[in-house]
Amino acid sequence: MKSIDELKIAICSDHAGYELKIRLIEFINSKNVKELKDFGAFTAESSDYPDYAHPMASAVENQDYDFGISICGTGNGISMTVNKHAGIRAALCWTPEIARLARLHNNANVLSLPARFVSFEEACEMVDVFFSTDFEGGRHQRRIDKISC
Ligand code: RB5
């Protein structure tokens, strides 16, 4: 696993995830990430998560970015949206252990967070573990290969 100072990360949210996203951007930048691009929303006014989720997912899918973070109120709508992209495996996470297993077993490339159901401290822990855990491969690669329909 590359260290965070070698990673290019894309991030997006809707209005419900906006405040958590802004705080996470500050947290991630303090770790000297190679690049962190915010795909919106750029205000806390009511907005539609697909408007930001699709461009962010395309950027990860095109390998312009190594990983993505997507945030909405429950994490569900935005992860449903990014998972429409063939190259995206977004994992909805609400504990650090789920975030760890999302990398270890699912080779997730997008961390989806439910802003209304996790604290800032919990989100920071999930970011830390997600971006420091490698995919285990082996039997999990075989299962991932069977996901597409
Ligand atoms: C916005 O109110 C909310 O519906 C949205 O952030 C998300 O939770 C949808 O899945």
Compute the mean pLDDT over every residue in the chain, rounded to the nearest whole number. 98
CA of 53 relative to ligand 1 center, distance in Å: 13
Which tokens sit at 119? 């604290």
Q: What is the pLDDT of residues 29-79, one digit of tens each?
A: 999 999 999 999 999 999 999 999 999 999 999 999 999 999 999 999 999
Q: Enter the DSSP assignment of 63.
A: T
| The pLDDT value given to residue 53 | 99
For the CA of 76, the nearest atom of ligand 1: 10
Ligand 1 pocket mutation pick from 18, 21, 74, 116 by most atoms within 8 angstroms of CB: 74
CA of 29 relative to ligand 1 center, distance in Å: 26
Q: Where are the domains of the chain?
A: 4-145
- Measure the CA–CA gap between 28 and 137, rounded to whole angstroms: 27
For ligand 1, whether the C-beta of 50 sits within 6 Å is no
For 4-145, CATH gives: 3.40.1400.10
Number of H helices, E strands in the chain: 6, 5
Q: Are 99 and 106 in contact (CB under 8 A)?
A: no
Confidence grade of residue 20 (pLDDT, cut at 50, 70, 90):
very high
Alpha-carbon distance values, 81 to 43, 49, 58, 91 (Å): 20, 8, 11, 12
For the CA of 78, the nearest atom of ligand 1: 10
Helix axes 15-29, 120-130, angle to 10 degrees: 60
- Measure the CA–CA gap between 22 and 15, rounded to whole angstroms: 11
